Amino acid sequence: MDLNYYSSRKERLQSASSGTKRAYEKRNSKSFFKRNPQLKVLIIDLLIILLFATIIIPFFIKITKDVRVDNYKITAKAIEFDENILISVKISQNIKPAKETTVSSKLKVEIIHNNSIIKSDSIIFPKEFGDNKYLTFKLENILEVEYVQLKLTSGTFSKEIKTHIER
């Protein structure tokens, strides 16, 4: 009786049956991610982080409805109350001072409807952090609109924003 012992896998597979050879071929043809499951988890985590950074976070920033210019934050709000529309513009100063200033000392707020100015007023920007300034308007609710269009101007800064009316 002749016993042959093969020490390497290649030598054993050469004398093995065709079924065994096919099983080993399937085992050795694993993809890159099946051989490295940690890398697969890492790539999935990176995709989730990119999803948050590119889609979800900018969407929530647009919902906040505030305008940031230099070291000021301007927030507008409109509410329907007793057949009137009350509009409030809040100006607050951020902690970090701006490197370059594009605004002057006053902010001019104009309420626009059909490309015409309905009301206009101006306010001085707050000087210290934590000091908030408010500018309010009262409009009769004869306009059946869903939002109020405001134009903010100061120095070289100019921006038009639409504020949804809360009913």
* pLDDT tens digits, 19-31: 887 777 766 656 7
Which segments of the chain belong to CATH 2.60.40.150?
A: 66-164
pLDDT averaged over the chain?
Answer: 82
pTM of the entire predicted model: 0.61
Instruction: Read off the pLDDT band of 152 (50, 70, 90).
Output: very high
| Phi and psi at residue 68, to the nearest 5° | -115, 125
Rounded to whole angstroms, how far apart are CA atoms 167 and 165?
6
**38-97 residue pLDDT tens:** 888 999 999 999 888 888 777 766 666 688 888 888 999 999 888 889 999 999 988 776
What's the CATH number of domain 66-164, 2.60.40.10, 1.10.3720.10, 3.90.660.10, 2.60.40.150? 2.60.40.150
